[in-house]
Amino acid sequence: MDFDHSPKVKDLCDRLNAFMEEHIYPNQELHNQQLQEMGHGIEHWENWGGVPIIEELKPKAREAGLWNLFLPESRRGGGLTNLEYAPLCEIMGRAPWSAEVFNCSAPDTGNMETLERFGTEAQKKEWMEPLLAGEIRSCFSMTEPDVASSDARNISLTITREGDEYVINGRKWWTSGSGDSRCKLFIVMGKTDPEAEPYRQQSMILVPRDTPGLTIKRMIPVFGFSDAPHGHGEILYDNVRVPAENILLGEGRGFEIAQGRLGPGRIHHCMRMIGQAEVALEKMCKRALERRPFGKLLSDQGVTRERIAESRIMIDQARLLTLKAADRMDKVGNKEARKDIGMIKVVAPRMAAQVIDWAIQVHGAAGISSDFGLSYAYARARAIRLADGPDEVHQNQIARLELKPYTNERV
């Protein structure tokens, strides 16, 4: 047992931190300005695309050897285990837009991992290469407005074989990333066989953005934020036809693929949340040392101190739990590690939302404005608590696994 990262990981962290200091943090303001110019408001989503400063920094990141760091067990990725990649996610999470600079953005990472594990050579060639090169972006179209889709069995979009094609019909929303005009690939989950056993009904299929019948109806705001240029789209699939070879892995394998991509994605999300929480705690400390209502610095007030202490405790605990889950995934695989993965899904976004909320409180009304980035950070954390199923679904699963040794129930 050892709580220190290896020299290799420490070195990567140092290099990534140096890049952030030199290229990311000083450009935050510029990045926001460029977004504004692009048309940040949700009604302008059709103008969304690459942000100039990001495009400018990508080659620098590549040059610095900080490109495609994810993707364990593949020669295409950074050659890092989940445990080794995790602290890098935390660092990138400190400025969420930076992930794209390193070609480590969700959902592209998950989509590339899916293609790497389950794609054919042709699929890899067509989609994975431009994705790895950062030339296009992609999205994952799973959640539906009309059913409780945290239970994947409820999914109702149909994927029907007709000759050499599949025909897709249904409605999705929260298809994150679809707002970006560079997003060329939609990985769509739907039902190929409603009569099969529950976990063999779903399939995943690759749909190019420009396929006729695929309509992006609108972008959905998150607490009033547009998340430009990424966006969360509502997508109508109306008799969308794609070649039969676009199916991933084969009919009925959708659930299996979904399970496979969940683990690493959650590590990434959780570590990013931890990065966000660290930033919020820093802001909380700094603000508390500046403001002096009623003749006493906020940082000298007991309630503020309690929250700073609790924030540190919650962040450190969440980080350790997440790193341990990554270690378990590396050692025993996603399936055996599913209780660990479920636990961090509950813990990390909830922790981040709480720490950010306390930071908001220390900032007073400034906290809920957009001047300090805290209200946006809160909205993101609150959203992540719901992404991949709400806390309750995971708590339920954790409890079942915990109860299992005392019962004969098949879990």
Per-residue DSSP letter, 6: P
Q: Which of 150, 105, 108 is nearest to 386 (CA)?
A: 150
Write down the least CB distance from residue 123 to a second copy, Å: 29
**Rounded Cα gap, residues 82 and 95, in angstroms:** 21
Write down the least CB distance from residue 118 to a second copy, Å: 26
Nearer to a second copy, 109 or 299 (CB): 299
Write down the least CB distance from residue 284 to a second copy, Å: 9
Which SS3 state, helix, strand or coil, does residue 204 take? strand
Write down the least CB distance from residue 37 to a second copy, Å: 11
Write down the least CB distance from residue 163 to a second copy, Å: 35
Nearer to a second copy, 122 or 403 (CB): 403
CA 61-64-67 angle, to 5 degrees, is 50
**Rounded Cα gap, residues 228 and 48, in angstroms:** 7
For residue 186, the cross-strand partners are 139, 207
Nearer to a second copy, 163 or 406 (CB): 406
**Rounded Cα gap, residues 131 and 184, in angstroms:** 10
Q: Is the dihedral of CA 214, 207, 256, 107 positive or negative?
A: negative
Nearer to a second copy, 51 or 329 (CB): 329
Nearer to a second copy, 251 or 278 (CB): 278
Nearer to a second copy, 237 or 376 (CB): 376
**Rounded Cα gap, residues 121 and 373, in angstroms:** 42
* Max CA separation in the chain (angstroms): 78
Q: Which of 206, 202, 179, 23 is nearest to 98 (CA)?
A: 23
Contact 111, 205 (CB under 8 A): no
Write down the least CB distance from residue 161 to a second copy, Å: 28
Nearer to a second copy, 41 or 65 (CB): 41
Write down the least CB distance from residue 34 to a second copy, Å: 15
Tokens of 150: 């945290």
